[in-house]
Amino acid sequence: MNKLGILTSGGDAPGMNAAIRAVVIAAQQKNIETMGIKGGYQGLINRNIDRLTPFDVDRIADKGGTILKTSRCLEFMEEEGRKKAARVLEEFGINFLVVIGGDGSFKGAEKLHRLGINVIGIPGTIDNDFAYTDYSIGFDTALNTILDAISKIKDTDFSHDKTTIIEVMGRYCGDLATYSALAGEGEIISIPERKLDFDTICSQIHSKMASGKHDNLIIITEKMYDIEELKKYIEKRLQVSVRTSILGFIQRGGSPSAFDRILASRMGVKAVELLTEGYSGLAVGIKENKIISIELENVNNIRFDYHEKLGLLDTFSIFN
């Protein structure tokens, strides 16, 4: 009998539970036993593995986080750690593995594939930092969490004619900032793919203020600047007071959106299908609303294209 191991790795993302549920149910329907590996790759190395039945995953699709818990595992980054993990899989008779996670998790999955493990990756990260897929699980929910926060900040900014810098997550990817600026009416956006210097940000605010717009929203991706330094710079140059808001980990939690639950369900079923059809070393994704797959080794070979979205933002932020 085939045995499937499933783990979540890296940062958690809303919708991971819906993906776990989908994998367990799809596997059960193909008479495959599922083993839940707790705590990501570290849990695999530590043999933290238990049977996972459809009853265990019943009513979890609406829950944020991951019932399997997750970690960022340093030991697994070493060859010896990965060999240990492969031996544990053999010891438990696990011949199929599903890894739900982001970039680092996929790198680990690809290395396990090279060690002869049958593995499929499901993209679960709020960052949406894979260009091979239109969406990763968790992005839509995080985006809506950001929009909820932006909307509240906008109310008070309008009342007080204030400018606020909002820092969102995304690691080195500008998707969360770009989409939230588009949907949340952000005036100025700076992302790793088009980083604005302090003076450019100041001159953009200045031109909006000159045209009578005083409540400006600056949306930036994390890790690019010291947000307090940017605030002080703007305040000194333009003689205005600026607010800052780092949204932080509220972006990672919460009940997944309908979109994320459905995406997770589709990807989970596809992952099981691929394994039973004899495929390995693939990542599932979504393109033009179709579930697709691509070699794990190629997930980062496709480039992001922000041209259209940034063009829209530039169009919407003109006030004169």
CB of 123 or CB of 186, closer to ligand F6P = 123
CA-to-CA distance for 288 and 146, rounded, in angstroms? 25
Q: Which member of 15, 40, 81, 102 binds ligand F6P (CB under 6 A)?
A: 102
User: In this chain, which stretch among 49-57, 169-177, 205-213, 271-279 interacts with ligand F6P, using CB under 6 A?
Assistant: 169-177
Is residue 3 near ligand F6P by the rule CB under 6 A?
no
User: In this chain, which stretch among 125-133, 144-152, 256-264, 298-306 interacts with ligand F6P, using CB under 6 A?
Assistant: 125-133
CB of 25 or CB of 126, closer to ligand F6P = 126
CB of 171 or CB of 206, closer to ligand F6P = 171
SS (HEC) of the chain? CCEEEEEECCCCCCCHHHHHHHHHHHHHHCCCEEEEECCHHHHHHCCCEEEECCCCCCCCCCCCCCCCCCCCCCHHHCHHHHHHHHHHHHHCCCCEEEEEECHHHHHHHHHHHHCCCEEEEEEECCCCCCCCCCCCECHHHHHHHHHHHHHHHHHHHHHHCCEEEEEECCCCCCHHHHHHHHHHCCCEEEECCECCCHHHHHHHHHHHHHCCCCCCEEEEECCCCCHHHHHHHHHHHHCCCEEEEECHHHHCCCCCCHHHHHHHHHHHHHHHHHHHCCCCCEEEEEECCEEEEEEHHHCCCCCCCCHHHHHHHHHHCCCC
Catalytic residue among 12, 50, 58, 127: 127
Q: How near is the Cβ of 101 to ligand F6P at its closest, in Å?
A: 9
Q: How near is the Cβ of 11 to ligand F6P at its closest, in Å?
A: 3
User: In this chain, which stretch among 108-116, 121-129, 212-220, 264-272 interacts with ligand F6P, using CB under 6 A?
Assistant: 121-129
Residues 63-82, mask of contacts with ligand F6P (x by CB under 6 A): ---------x----------
CB of 9 or CB of 118, closer to ligand F6P = 9
Residue ranges of the annotated binding site for ADP are 154, 213-215
Q: For the packed helices 175-184 and 307-316, what is the interaxial angle rounded to 10 degrees? A: 30
**Of 40, 297, 11, 8, residue with least CA distance to 170:** 11
Q: Which member of 113, 208, 252, 261 binds ligand F6P (CB under 6 A)?
A: 252
What is the Cβ-side half-sphere exposure of residue 265, based on CA atoms within 13 angstroms? 12
Is residue 175 near ligand F6P by the rule CB under 6 A?
no
Q: How near is the Cβ of 222 to ligand F6P at its closest, in Å?
A: 6
Residue ranges of the annotated binding site for ATP are 11, 72-73, 102-105
Q: Which member of 4, 5, 9, 11 binds ligand F6P (CB under 6 A)?
A: 11
Q: How near is the Cβ of 171 to ligand F6P at its closest, in Å?
A: 4
Is residue 170 near ligand F6P by the rule CB under 6 A?
yes
Is residue 125 near ligand F6P by the rule CB under 6 A?
yes
Residue ranges of the annotated binding site for Mg(2+) are 103
Has 127 been annotated as catalytic? Answer: yes
Q: For the packed helices 139-160 and 258-276, what is the interaxial angle rounded to 10 degrees? A: 160
Q: Under 8 Å CB-to-CB from 203, ≥6 apart: which residues?
A: none
Size of interface with ligand F6P, in residues (CB under 6 A): 11
Is residue 171 near ligand F6P by the rule CB under 6 A?
yes
Binding site for ligand F6P (CB under 6 A): 11, 72, 102, 125-127, 169-171, 222, 252
Q: Which positions are catalytic? A: 127
